[in-house]
Amino acid sequence: MGNPIDFIAERLPLDDVMDALKHKQVPVHKRTIFYYLGGICLYLLIVQVITGILLLFYYQPTEALAYESVKFIMTKVNFGWLVRSIHAWSANLLIFSLFIHLFSTFLLKAYRPPRELTWMTGMALFGICLGLGFTGYLLPWNELAYFATKIGTEMPASIPVVGDLIKEFLRGGPSVTGVTLTRFFAFHIWILPLALAGVVGIHLLLVQKLGMSRPLSQESKNNRSMPFLPHFALRDLNVWLVVLAVLLGLSYYFPAHLGNPADPLSPTPIGILPEWYFLFMFQSLKLLPAHILGIEGELVGMMFFGLAALFVLLVPFIDKKSANGLKSPLFTAIGWVMIAFVIGMTIWGRLG
């Protein structure tokens, strides 16, 4: 056997991949900064996988040992506090970046043809990451996580016919118990990551295949671009370094806390809130009256969010103007209303 790189290159289409990357161009305009968000999300996802695997060396997903094992990681394992803190902060930053990535893509109308599938796979990734956040939050089995999960898993119960079934499926029974913990663990480390890996692969393939979308507002102004390799890739790398510094700073100054162990027999603490990224939904549902036009308020809220998610998922097919290369102010306005709604409700939920 000669040169191992040549050996591999002869057997795998590496040259084709490299050629594609070498020929890939990234548009240059005043909104180019938003192209870094996808890379940031990918980077944070890699951090999540690495830190998650490290945590798995010590974490024990049982009702009796979950809390103690996390405590052991935080206090006894070398750099355990850092790994867990990075995992927790990286999860929050990932979802924050996904929110910005999603809304910036929406406002720049990057979903228009031929990138409908890129948009839809991105939406799926967003949903999977929310699921990872929700399931991961319970794993330390502390008081806050226990009651937040109790409230979170209660929400689907208002869906007609299948509501209770979904609730019981999520909980593994009528209430949140050790069975819920092992179930969430399975979702968190196997089911959702496998789905994530598949969808990320398709999403990246589509991004490479179809390239970056140039916003409608910039299309007429210039056609400037830069090569992905090495120019944009090096800039990406620089951004990743900044994100790493932010992650380390947050983990050092605000290490993840563990709180008190979960006690299913204790009453729900006053002012218990879900994670910040679910707060806008929680607050909206809280504000709804018990009944709207004879239908249960919570059900109306769930239907609203369901339809809103469906609308956003299918927006490439609904926004005809953008598809035809025309300006689409209505969808821009919808985008800003959604952003204002999410931010407003989140702040209200936190302060109220």
Following CA atoms 319, 321, 323, 329 in sequence, which dihedral angle do they give, to the nearest 10 degrees? -70
Distance separating alpha carbons of residues 156 and 163, to the nearest angstrom: 5
Name the residues that contact other proteins, by CB under 8 A: 25, 28, 71, 74-75, 81-82, 222-227, 230-231, 234-235, 237-238, 241-242, 244-245, 248-249, 252-255, 258
The least CB distance from residue 23 to other proteins, in Å, is 12
Neighbours of 215 (CB within 10 A): 19
Q: Which of 308, 315, 312, 336 is nearest to 112 (CA)?
A: 315
The least CB distance from residue 245 to other proteins, in Å, is 5
- H or E segment and range at residue 296: strand 295-296
The least CB distance from residue 20 to other proteins, in Å, is 17
Which CB sits closer to other proteins, 231 or 321?
A: 231
The least CB distance from residue 237 to other proteins, in Å, is 6
The least CB distance from residue 215 to other proteins, in Å, is 17
The least CB distance from residue 283 to other proteins, in Å, is 29
Which CB sits closer to other proteins, 245 or 337?
A: 245
* Strand-pair partners of 102: none
Distance separating alpha carbons of residues 157 and 299, to the nearest angstrom: 9
Distance separating alpha carbons of residues 16 and 10, to the nearest angstrom: 11
Distance separating alpha carbons of residues 240 and 236, to the nearest angstrom: 6
Token digits for 241?
A: 């370094």
Which CB sits closer to other proteins, 254 or 336?
A: 254
Which CB sits closer to other proteins, 74 or 95?
A: 74
Residue type present at position 64:
A
Which CB sits closer to other proteins, 80 or 122?
A: 80
Which CB sits closer to other proteins, 75 or 268?
A: 75
